[in-house]
Structure 1
């Protein structure tokens, strides 16, 4: 099922902890092996967990890029939620409540309540098959494939609404990275990978938003030539066209 691979483009390229990357790999392998063995319910459960992981990374980006706004929208959640040191810490909260936080990024949608409601339906369906209720609704691969298509569509929707946040992050990164003497890494590639991607758990799709940013907006910056070099290095490493070659 080729479409299923698409979700990997919405998950981080780099992780802060090896165990985080190991966990995502574990979920993907669980999805694949259960699909191959026609255990479609368990395959769906693993894939839905990949979806929720992508949501946690999206919420983390609000926290790391717009911290003040994050602390406003997370009111009502416990203190540990606000002090999370990893996106996976968000899993301690009810999944539907976490999905409600996406109202912040998806606010421009004409019916954000309905949009979030669709995502919550997936949670309810996953909960339904995660209990010993004697039911096997996922009897055919086509049923699972329909849910995978839904998840990919929802993930793409959530991603689309995060564009302003990601580009805001990238702009700030470029401005703060233009001085070789003061930035953490002199090597441009290291600066991109450690400070931009690693810190914010950016995905390939996030980096595509960065590559769409018009750096001419920063033409008045004192070291604009260095900003151009950084942008060119990002293109070289992560342009979708180059990755397909």
Structure 2
């Protein structure tokens, strides 16, 4: 159970709307309730939904940071699917257009190999076996589900490690776009960070570790560097690192 709860560090700090938050809260509750009641088969289904939610948030961030490569990666999809993926208003809407196994192909945009993508996607096949009436209980003891969770968390950490450059691309873009207090949406740095970085980009605690550790001096030649530095220092004070060891590859 303890390793499963670590997944919360890789899920967003805030969501676009209340229904998304309610959905994740419900799935977490379903996982914990079934796990504690020894209904491990159902607990595994709930944890799979949490895992796939993490993947969808990562794909969303890739789309925001690298729109042109993202569009190129859609070559081969039906034309109507290409347009709808670009226009998705929520990470959860990706699954209205694609099969779960297809979504993993976008992880190649962050340097994942075909073999790694296969490792990330293997849990979909396992879930499909559980989700259909087979007459077999796959997870009939705690050791079995704990082993599955450990495998899934290993891949979560691997994906998060590959996301490092993407997170920093989004962070630097935010710092530049928000470097003028007169032009940005919120004059107060903390409000601007919360609304237009953490919230808008579905940032997790693990993502924010990368931002905390960013060497802001790399942007010293940017216009508005003093305010960029102020924004960075504000973020560091707002979001203390919590999972520095957990995001290692």
TM-score, normalised relative to structure 2: 0.92
Describe the SS at the equivalent of 1:139.
coil
Which is further off, 65-74 or 129-138?
Answer: 65-74
What is the match of residue 106 of structure 1? 111
Q: Following TM superposition, by how much is the alpha carbon of 1:91 offset from its aligned partner in structure 2, in angstroms?
A: 1.4
What is the match of residue 86 of structure 1? 90
After superposition, the C-alpha distances for 1:183-222 in whole angstroms (9 at most, x for unaligned) are 1110111100111111111111111111121110111233
Describe the SS at the equivalent of 1:240.
coil
What is the match of residue 43 of structure 2? 43
Q: Is the 8 A contact 1:40 1:144 kept in 2?
A: yes
After superposing on structure 2, the runs of 4+ consecutive aligned residues of structure 1 that deviate more than 3 Å are none
What is the match of residue 95 of structure 1? 100
What is the match of residue 187 of structure 1? 188
2 CA distance for matches of 1:21 and 1:120? 25
What is the match of residue 57 of structure 2? 57
Q: Following TM superposition, by how much is the alpha carbon of 1:34 offset from its aligned partner in structure 2, in angstroms?
A: 0.5
Unaligned runs of 5+ in 2: 244-249
Q: Is the 8 A contact 1:40 1:139 kept in 2?
A: yes
Q: Following TM superposition, by how much is the alpha carbon of 1:104 offset from its aligned partner in structure 2, in angstroms?
A: 1.5
Is 1:72 aligned to residue 76 of structure 2? Answer: no
Describe the SS at the equivalent of 2:200.
helix
Q: Is the 8 A contact 2:197 2:203 kept in 1?
A: yes
CA RMSD of aligned residues (A): 1.4
Q: Is the 8 A contact 1:119 1:154 kept in 2?
A: yes
Is 1:163 aligned to residue 167 of structure 2? Answer: no
What is the match of residue 236 of structure 1? 237
Q: Following TM superposition, by how much is the alpha carbon of 1:120 offset from its aligned partner in structure 2, in angstroms?
A: 2.0
Q: Is the 8 A contact 2:209 2:242 kept in 1?
A: no
Unaligned runs of 5+ in 1: none
Q: Is the 8 A contact 1:65 1:169 kept in 2?
A: yes
TM-score, normalised relative to structure 1: 0.93
After superposition, the C-alpha distances for 1:126-162 in whole angstroms (9 at most, x for unaligned) are 0100011111010101100011111111011001111
2 CA distance for matches of 1:125 and 1:114? 17
Superposed counterparts of 1:93-172, under 5 Å: 93-107=98-112, 112-172=113-173
